[in-house]
Amino acid sequence: MRQDDGAYRSCRRFVQQNIHACVAHLIIVTALVLISACSGFTSRGTPPVPQIHVGTQGIVANFVGNTPPAQVLEEGKFDMLLELHNQGATDVDDALLSISTNPEYLDISIPQGQSQLRLAGKSLNNPRGDKTLLSLKGFAGRVSQKTPVSVPITTSICYPYATEAAPVVCIDTDPEGLKQQRKACTAQAVSLGGSQGAPVAVTRIEVSSLPHDDPERVIPNFKIFIGNVGNGEVIDAQQVDSYCQGRPDKDAFNIVSLKARLQESFLLCDKQILKLKSQDAEENYVQCELPQGIERRIAAFSAPITIILDYGYAFSVTRQINVVPRERS
Amino acid sequence: MRLRVICISLALLILASCAGQRTSEDRGFENFRTGSQGLVFQFMPNLPPARLYDDQDFNVQLRVTNAGAANAGSASDRMYLSGFDPSILTGISSFGEQVPPLEGKTQFNIQGTYGFVNFKGIPRALSVKKIDKYPFTLVATGCYNYQTIAQGNVCIDPDPFSTTAKQKACIPQTTSMGGSQGGPIGVSSVLVEATPGRTRFRIDVSNAGGGIVYRFGPEFSQKCSPYDQRGLQFNEIDMVRLDRVEVAGTNILPSCKPLDQGHVRLINGRGSLVCEYTAPRSQAAFVTPLLVEMSYGYQQILQQQVEIVSSR
């Protein structure tokens, strides 16, 4: 009993001695929590602007969940759920959906009126872009052999698309540095990282100013590098339907048309149609300039150069299905 | 005893009040020709804002403080905005805005005066150009004519190597002027070299204001504009006009060299010239004020990042 009493007293003494330290710790922790909460509020002070022209995809197709199933019995039915999402910033009114497989073993039909789709791209009012879900019915045919047959199902979505890039470049009206003035910016290559809310992107722009016939003007010159940054195939915008119908022209691939504008004027480019040569973006460029030039009297300034690329794009997704034969007596 | 305490307290009180009065008198003669700034430009908070939508007006207000000792605000003293695409941000004149008349510091106003310069621009809709946002560096350029009057005491000894054992009032030596005389251009030091009958002054001039100095005059202020066709040329910058160098009431400017059409050329923000004063050898050494008056144009630049965001 006396031992218990002693233990109680020493415990109470310990609490009394440490109570101030405990209170101090509690105050510090509370203060830290409050400070971190306040700093969070400050950082949220400026509301974020929705990023529309970002990302490297256009319309992306994906099979949902476990559809189609990994295996299906011969002469059996199966379901497929296909999600189509316009992850880019261009509205598409007439995307064409096609499914190809081996007709000997599988028969998949697209419901009436669903092979042509309309999917709006990202915008300030629709910052995620349109998404749709298609339910498809499939039927497995008869397998003549006794072992399962692996059959690929390829779903393709073909659509006309556009890339709108507006990188801010420096227009240096005094490239020789004759004016003794600190410039707002210096003309240099602008790397865009290839993310403009579309599968084909402007990856880099090299800017320079060339002499004009009029000594009071300079000609802004741009070397615009373009690349396929998505996971699909670039096709001629005029050949979208024939690609999805399985009969594309051999010259239909990697065709991009380009228009560029600075201030209120369209730029004069060495080519309006660019054939992307390879994955190496260094080879894929167009050289453009503003022939009328810009007055030298205006000091160097930052200006957006609006580049519009038009093309067709095809995105495909493939799944393998094993068609398993039934046991026959 | 009590009377003695009262007397002592009264005496202390009187002494304290006298001391206080002397301090205020001192303040009355405080040197106002100090500091290495002329006009000081500052963006007012949120004018311009760091980010604005394209359906908002673009308002810029700059506070201009005359922190130097010369007056400013003539018709050619102007402020310009540049660095933006005029097809996106419209309504900002390329002729700039005039700096309001601002009196410099005086012995009665050691703070200087200030005024405001306003700009109003109208952004064009970015959605028409298919742009989400337009970031740019806004450059405010201030161009003004200014004057510095540097004053310091120097020792003139017309017979520095005399063999007679005469007590001299002073010995010629380098005089530091501190380099700040109420203007961005100042005299940093004066080296005094006494020879028999002739005293040479090496006057060191420096640009301590952080801006670009150019030739004095409205025609050069026009060239200082970021919208001028030719802009300031190599032979127009780093030039300070020397108006007067006075020793013992004599203007010794004609003796000063090297001068380029009356201008001192600064290299890397520094320049120097040598002037000469002649005094009869019979005269005893004496201390006299040296006065240097300089005129110049000055360009001060201010930058701020701005982003215009599409509202649609």
Give the domain CATH number at B139. Answer: 2.60.40.10
Mean per-residue pLDDT for B131-152?
93
Query: ipTM greater than 0.90, yes or no?
Result: no
| Residue B226 is assigned to a structural domain of this protein | yes
* Cβ contact B212–A180 (<8 Å): yes
| Residue B248 is assigned to a structural domain of this protein | yes
Name the residue with tokens 């004066």. Answer: B190
Question: Which 3-state string (H, E, C) describes chain A?
Answer: CHHHHHHHHHHHHHHHHHHHHHHHHHHHHHHHHHHHHHHHHHHCCCCCCCCCCCCCCCEEEEECCCCCCCEEECCCEEEEEEEEEECCCCCEEEEEEEEECCCCCEEEECCCCCCEEEECCCCCCCCCCCEEEEEEEEEECCCCCCCCEEEEEEEEEEEEEEEEECCEEEECCCCCCCCCCCCCCCCCCEECCCCCCCCEEEEEEEEEEEECCCCCEEEEEEEEEEEECCCCEEECHHHHHHHHCCCCCHHHECEEEEEEEECCEECEECCCEEECCCCCHHHCEEEEECCCCEECCCCCEEEEEEEEEEEEEEEEEEEEEEEECCCCC
Domain that holds residue B104: 39-145+300-309
Same domain, B180 and B248: yes
- For A201, phi and psi rounded to 5 degrees? -135, 155
B201-210 residue pLDDT tens: 999 999 999 9
Same domain, B155 and B235: yes
Contact B177/B168 with Cβ under 8 angstroms? no
Average pLDDT for chain A: 85
Q: Which of A52, A54, A180, A265 to mutate to probe the B interface, most B CBs <10 Å? A: A180
* Cβ contact B310–A124 (<8 Å): yes
- Chain B residues in contact with A303 by the CB 8 A cut-off are 85, 87-88
- Chain A residues in contact with B138 by the CB 8 A cut-off are 184
Contact A312/A239 with Cβ under 8 angstroms? yes
Q: Which of A176, A266, A302, A309 to mutate to probe the B interface, most B CBs <10 Å? A: A302
Same domain, B240 and B157: yes
DSSP at B221: H
And the tokens for B27?
């303040």
Contact B237/B262 with Cβ under 8 angstroms? no
Per-residue pLDDT, B133: 87
Residue A159 clears pLDDT 90, i.e. is over it:
yes
Residue A2 clears pLDDT 70, i.e. is over it:
no
Same domain, B116 and B153: no
- Chain B residues in contact with A124 by the CB 8 A cut-off are 310, 312
Average pLDDT for chain B: 87
Per-residue pLDDT, A44: 45
- Domains of chain B: total: 2
CA of A292 vs chain B CAs: smallest distance (Å):
15
CA of A52 vs chain B CAs: smallest distance (Å):
8
Side-chain half-sphere CA neighbours of B8 within 13 A: 5
Q: Which of B201, B185, B181 is nearest to B193 (CA)?
A: B201
Least confident of A98-102, A287-291, B8-12: B8-12
A108-158 residue pLDDT tens: 988 877 788 899 999 878 889 999 999 889 999 988 888 899 999 999 999
And the tokens for A260?
């560029």
CA of A111 vs chain B CAs: smallest distance (Å):
36
Same domain, B58 and B151: no
Per-residue pLDDT, B164: 72
Residue B17 clears pLDDT 60, i.e. is over it:
no
Q: List Cβ neighbours of A13 (8 Å cut-off, separation of 6 or more).
A: none
Q: How many A/B residue pairs have CB atoms within 8 Å?
A: 102
Name the residue with tokens 């809709």. Answer: B125
DSSP string, B1-58: -HHHHHHHHHHHHHHHHHHHHHHHHHHHT------S-SEEEEEBTTBS-SEEETTS-E
Same domain, B266 and B137: no
Higher pLDDT, A106 or B282: A106
And the tokens for B28?
């009355």
Q: Which of A264, A295, A299 sits opposite B82 (nearest CB)?
A: A299
Give the model's confidence band at B245: pLDDT under 50 very low, under 70 low, under 90 confident, else very high: very high
Higher pLDDT, A52 or B182: B182
Residue B151 clears pLDDT 60, i.e. is over it:
yes
* Cβ contact A166–B130 (<8 Å): yes
Residue B163 clears pLDDT 90, i.e. is over it:
no
Q: Which of A125, A164, A172, A181 to mutate to probe the B interface, most B CBs <10 Å? A: A181
Helix (H/G/I), strand (E/B), else coil: B292 = strand
Same domain, B286 and B156: yes
Distance CA A226, CA A277 (A): 10
* Cβ contact B229–A46 (<8 Å): no
Give the model's confidence band at A24: pLDDT under 50 very low, under 70 low, under 90 confident, else very high: low
CATH architecture of A59-161+316-324: Sandwich (2.60)
Distance CA A308, CA A327 (A): 59
Contact A262/A303 with Cβ under 8 angstroms? yes
| Residue B31 is assigned to a structural domain of this protein | no
Mean per-residue pLDDT for A96-100?
91
Per-residue pLDDT, B69: 92
Q: Which of B130, B302, B307 to mutate to probe the A interface, most A CBs <10 Å? A: B130
Give the model's confidence band at B34: pLDDT under 50 very low, under 70 low, under 90 confident, else very high: confident
What Å distances lie between residue A246 and A127, A242, B138, CA to CA?
33, 6, 54
Query: Do you find a cis peptide bond into B218, omega within 30 degrees of 0?
Result: no
- For A4, phi and psi rounded to 5 degrees? -60, -45
* Cβ contact A180–B133 (<8 Å): no
* Cβ contact A299–B232 (<8 Å): no
| Residue B32 is assigned to a structural domain of this protein | no
Residue B143 clears pLDDT 90, i.e. is over it:
yes
Per-residue pLDDT, B179: 64
Question: Helices (DSSP H) in chain B: which residue ranges?
Answer: 2-28, 218-223
Give the model's confidence band at B115: pLDDT under 50 very low, under 70 low, under 90 confident, else very high: very high
Residue A41 clears pLDDT 50, i.e. is over it:
no
| Residue B118 is assigned to a structural domain of this protein | yes
CA of B213 vs chain A CAs: smallest distance (Å):
11
Distance CA B275, CA B150 (A): 15
Distance CA B300, CA B302 (A): 7
Contact A96/A121 with Cβ under 8 angstroms? no
| Residue B65 is assigned to a structural domain of this protein | yes
Contact B302/B293 with Cβ under 8 angstroms? no
Give the model's confidence band at B238: pLDDT under 50 very low, under 70 low, under 90 confident, else very high: very high
B269-309 residue pLDDT tens: 999 999 999 887 778 888 999 999 999 999 999 999 999 99
